[in-house]
Each structure stands twice: as structure tokens, then as C-alpha cells.
Structure 1
Amino acid sequence: MIEFLFSQYKDYPNYLIVLELIAVGFGIISVLFAKKNNILVYPTGLVSTLIFVYILLEFQLYGDLIINIYYSIMSILGWYLWSRTKNGADEFPISMMTKKDFTISLLIFVVTLLFVVFVYLFFNKFTDWTAYVDALTTGLFFVGMWLMAKRKVENWILWIVADVISVPLYFHKGLTFSSLQFSIFTILAILGYLEWKKLLHKPI
């Protein structure tokens, strides 16, 4: 079983394995902070995403590379939005999506999907089924990250769907630790959704 899960790492440089482990660790810590509605989700997440930018560039996984560059930018935006207060209360408290949020989310998804398809076509990387799935998950993750920055409960639903898809996807790509990370993310996203629903209805 161990051989099946981790055999692909035998040909990887040790520093890439260490970097992936660090990125996975900080990624899990970040989601735990997100679950608790704690602003530390962003600085810890930044450590993870910036490391993954480097790793994914090495593996030429351009869709995932774009995701992590976007994550890094959105982490800075989310960090800023979550730190803002008005009259002593959060300016962007936990809330449900509005029609405007849905429209913007749909627009982000479509634009992201088209952009990733363009990138894969440009680099002639539509050679495997993973490219199509990668384009889909990129769109889902982009919308999920934007909704998290806006503290919308529905962000967790998108994380759950995208994380479930990413488990076999990353394993197939040869990144077993990342695949295990997405397994953990799926569980944490379900718990995060339930936690935020409770916080949404909690009396102020």
C-alpha cells in the first residue's frame, strides 16, 4: 500500500518533497483557521500557495499554477477585507449569497474556464483527461476563494465539490501528499460549512 501511494516520489528531488510537505501542512492549518472564521487563514494560506506556485511550475501544471497565483492575490485581498471593521463590528460578516453574488460568481467561473482553456491550448497541453478536469476545478476554486474573501457561506460548497474531484486528480498527477491534503480538505470543508451556518445564525 505504501509503495502504491508513494512510489512516484522515488524519482523526485528531496527538496521538492520537503517543500510539498510544508505547503500541505500550512494549507491544512489555513483551512482550520478558515473553519473557525479566523483571519489567520490568510497569512498561513499565503505560505502554502506561494510554495505551490514554485512546485507546480516545476511540474508544468499550469492550471493549478494559475489557481495558486490567484489564491495568493485573493489571500491579500481577503486579509484586507476581513480586517476591516465598522462601528466595532466586521464590515464583511458571514452571510449568504445574494443574486448579485451569484451573477459575479458565474462570471468568474466562465471567464476562468475560458482563460485556463486558452492557456492549455497555447502550451499544447490538452493531451490528457486531467487537463479538462483541471480547467473545471480551477473555475470552482476561483469562485470559492472569492466567496471566502466575501465571507459567503456557500464558499464551502464549492470547496467540497472541487476538493473531492482533486483527490484522484492529484494522485494521478503523482502528488500523493497533495491528494491526501485534498482528502483532509474535503472533511474540513464539510465541517467549515456546518460551523459557518451556526455562526450565521448565532445571536450577536
Structure 2
Amino acid sequence: MNVFEWLFTATLTIGDQQVLWREIVGNAFGLASALGGLRRKVWAWPVGIIGNVLLFTVFMGAVFGAPNPVNLLGQAGRQVMFIVVSIYGWVAWVRHREASGVAVEPRWASWKVRVGLGVAMVGGTLLLTPIFRALGSFEPVWADAWIFVGSLLATWGMAKGWTEFWLIWIAVDLVGVPLLVSAGYYASALMYAFYGVFTFIGFLTWRRVQLTRAR
């Protein structure tokens, strides 16, 4: 068995639960990407993409024969979305670094953008909930839709350099932890709980950069 076969099939037993190592490793890459984002490093984007590929196979458990045969379509779909938006963010940060010497300069979004983000968050959740339900996503489906939409907006905000993107992640984590626990994805739920603290630190860090630059 090579390393790829092992990574795809290996599990960790925690009590009476089987947790895929893919879920653990994928979330570890996600955490590394978040750390890179906090430090405004370009490598945050490709590292995150690797984690997204792994987690896509995890959240389509009924398709890939995972120990937990539950499909979280919003969670799986957002991994695909992450990859697409991350490519955009990767290119944008590289170009900005080449032009100014830094990958991104944190700034506040305009009030118009903030209102648009709020409308998109609520409206997107309402729009996707019946679609995800019809496709057989795990209940409560609105939570899965909320996480999907929030993740899209937060990733887009990170690519744009809007400091508010950290606050959107906190809103995602508050819903994501109970959903993942109820669906049996304990490694991801634990990581979401940690992300909640981490994203608050990220918000303060980017805000500090803004204040330092303004002096």
C-alpha cells in the first residue's frame, strides 16, 4: 500500500468512532493556510487548496465509502468553491506582491460592500437551503447552506484584503461546530472550534497592521 492509498483508507479510532486521517490531514492543511493568511503569505493559497481536495472526499462520505456515510453537500461544494476562489486569491496576492512588495494590505470594506455581504449571506442561505435539501444534504440544511455562503464570502474577502473577512469566518464557525458534531465529523468540528478562536486573533492582527500603517 503506497502513501496515497493509506491516506485514502486509514482511520483513527476514537472511542467507538472512526475518523478518517484524510479529515485530520485536510483540516491541518486548512489550519496552515489560515496561519499563512494571518501572516499575509502567498503560500497560504496553494496549501489551502491541498486541504480542500482532501476534505471534498471526506464530506462526500456516501460516495467515497467513508466510515461516516453522510453527504454534507454544502461542505463538499464549498471545497470546490474554495479551490476556484483560492486560485483567484493566489494570483491577486502574487501580482500585488510584485507591484508593492507585500502580498496584501489589510483595509476595511466600504459600507456599500458590507451591506452587500450581509444581503448575500442571508439571501444566499435562503436560496441554497431548498436546493441542498432536494439534493439530500444533512439536516439542518440551512446550516450547511449558511456555511457554504459564508465560506465563499470570507474567502473572497481575504483575496480582496478586507479585514471583515475574519468576522465572517467567526459567523461560519458558530454554526459549523454544532452541525459537524451532529453529523459525526468530530475532527472537523474540533478544528472549527479552534478556528473560531484563531479567526478572532486574525482579525486583531490585521486590524493592528492597519493601525500601524496609518501612523
Instruction: Normalising by structure 2, report the TM-score.
Output: 0.80
CA distance in 2, matches of 1:151, 1:87: 15
Deviation, structure 1 residue 115: 4.6
CA distance in 2, matches of 1:199, 1:30: 19
CA distance in 2, matches of 1:47, 1:120: 25
Q: Of 17, 36, 40, which aligns to 1:37?
A: 40
Contact 2:74–2:137, Cα closer than 8 Å, also in 1: no
Deviates more, 1:94-103 or 1:155-164: 94-103
Deviation, structure 1 residue 109: 2.6
Q: Of 31, 50, 53, which aligns to 1:50?
A: 53
User: Would you say 1:105 and 2:117 are equivalent positions?
Assistant: yes
1:149-194 deviation per Cα after TM superposition (whole angstroms, max 9, x unaligned):
1110000011112112211211111111111111111111011000
Contact 2:29–2:50, Cα closer than 8 Å, also in 1: yes
CA distance in 1, matches of 2:200, 2:181: 21
Contact 2:59–2:73, Cα closer than 8 Å, also in 1: yes
1:90-132 deviation per Cα after TM superposition (whole angstroms, max 9, x unaligned):
5852110113422442454355324522432432447x3x212
User: Would you say 1:81 and 2:84 are equivalent positions?
Assistant: no
Deviates more, 1:104-113 or 1:35-44: 104-113
Name the amino acid aligned to 2:48. Answer: G
Deviates more, 1:82-91 or 1:34-43: 82-91
CA distance in 1, matches of 2:34, 2:110: 24
1:91 and 1:29, CA in 2 relative to 1: closer, same or farther beyond 3 A? closer
1:61-96 deviation per Cα after TM superposition (whole angstroms, max 9, x unaligned):
111112111111111111011111375345852110
Contact 1:6–1:176, Cα closer than 8 Å, also in 2: no
Q: Of 135, 139, 142, which aligns to 2:149?
A: 139
Q: Of 161, 165, 174, which aligns to 2:171?
A: 161
Bigger relative contact order, structure 1 or 2, given CA contacts below 8 A and separation 6+? Answer: 1
Contact 2:78–2:148, Cα closer than 8 Å, also in 1: yes
Gaps spanning 5+ residues in structure 1: where?
none
Q: Residue in 2 aligned with 1:122?
A: 134
Instruction: Normalising by structure 1, report the TM-score.
Output: 0.84
Q: Of 11, 16, 31, which aligns to 1:7?
A: 16
What is the percentage of aligned positions where both structures have the same residue?
21
The count of residues paired between Structure 1 and Structure 2 equals: 192
